[in-house]
A and B are shown apart, each in its own frame.
Chain A
Amino acid sequence: MAEYKIIITGPMGAGKTTAIEAVSEVPVVSTDVANTAKKDHAKATTTVAMDYGELTLGGGDHLRLYGTPGQQRFEFMWKILAKGALGLIVLMDNARPNAVRDLDIYLDNFAELIADTGVVIGITRMDVSSQPSLEDYHRSLRRRGVVYPIMALDVRKKQEVVILLDTLFSILEAAEA
């Protein structure tokens, strides 16, 4: 069966590491260090290079999942990790002050990968903040002239992360057909 490299990106605290930990069949390779930028996010640690996990889908396809650092100062890692990738998941933290605007940062920086492959957007922490709504994100995409799947999820739940990955695969298969 085929091997796929999938990138999971999004801002600090959106749940990239947690999502990979939720689904990986192997111990996750993590590069978390102490977070000294508590004004940006209160969490204790932050990913500075990448996370790595693996998952086999129902059809036997094998996914290699790479999580990026969230902060823009690590954008050099975004470019390194995007090489050879076959799809992108963007996780957005709905509790951040400018969550919808944040999305543009990742869509802009991964524009080439998105154009060549596909993207699915997952909105996290809607239980903490119900606003902005999914429609707000859709509206922002319409302003960019694009339509991408957007879904709310709890990244701690394996099944919800798998649905996100399955959705990405459906898009990639549809693009190939």
Chain B
Amino acid sequence: MQPNTNEVCQKYLDELAAATPEITTAVVTTSDGFEVAVMQRGGVSHAKLAAMTSAMHALGDAMVGESTLTNCQNVIVEAETGHILMLAVPNVKEGLLLSVIADHQVTIGRLLWASKRCCRHISDELGR
């Protein structure tokens, strides 16, 4: 892993959280579920969230493969009181994922747009 990976991810996570106050927790994790950067306003276990994000995204990827689609980009969970988005950070050799939990006061569309923007920024700095 690049020495500045954690710092780059933390910088853009903090930017994402500042621009989207409805976000309660955001984690950048390796594809096998280890946290790289964490932004936390709620009481969620970020270690567990990282592992679950890894599993959920891998399941999404497996379903995409079984459906003869290609390249799982996001997994979206819509709950009664909020949303969870899990996104692949594109073009990063290490294989990073972004997981974002937000309350229902932000729309999924806006949250997805902001999260994708965060991924793109990380990718621009760390991408191959």
Do B55 and A48 touch (CB < 8 A)? yes
Given contacts A46-B32, A48-B55, A74-B33, contact A34 B62 (CB under 8 A): no
Do B62 and A77 touch (CB < 8 A)? no
- Chain A residues closer than 8 Å to B48, beta-carbon distance: 73, 76
- Cβ-neighbour of B58 out of A33, A36, A76 (below 8 A): A33
Do B1 and A74 touch (CB < 8 A)? no
Q: What distance in Å separates the Cβ of A113 from its nearest Cβ neighbour in chain B? A: 19
- Counted as pairs of residues, one from A and one from B, with CB atoms less than 8 Å apart, the total is 58
Given contacts A36-B1, A73-B47, contact A49 B32 (CB under 8 A): no
A37 at the interface (CB under 8 A from B): yes
Q: What distance in Å separates the Cβ of B88 from its nearest Cβ neighbour in chain A? A: 11
- Chain A residues closer than 8 Å to B66, beta-carbon distance: 29
Please name the residue on chain B nearest to A51 by beta carbon: B62
A167 at the interface (CB under 8 A from B): no
Do A34 and B58 touch (CB < 8 A)? no
B39 at the interface (CB under 8 A from A): no
Do A31 and B32 touch (CB < 8 A)? no
Residues 57-72 of A contacting B (Cβ, < 8 Å): 69, 71
Do B34 and A49 touch (CB < 8 A)? no
Do B62 and A73 touch (CB < 8 A)? no
Do B55 and A31 touch (CB < 8 A)? yes
Q: What are the interface flags for B58-102 relative to A under an 8 Å C-beta threshold, 1 for contact and 0 otherwise? A: 110110001000000000000000000000000000110000000
A117 at the interface (CB under 8 A from B): no
Please name the residue on chain B nearest to A46 by beta carbon: B32
Do B34 and A48 touch (CB < 8 A)? no
Given contacts A49-B55, A69-B55, contact A33 B95 (CB under 8 A): yes
- Chain A residues closer than 8 Å to B61, beta-carbon distance: 31
Task: Give the 3 A-B residue pairs with the shortest CB-CB distance, closest first.
Answer: A31-B58, A49-B55, A33-B31
Interface residues of A (CB under 8 A from B): 29-37, 46, 48-50, 69, 71, 73-74, 76-77
5 A-B pairs (CB sep. < 8 Å): A31-B62, A32-B58, A33-B54, A34-B30, A74-B51
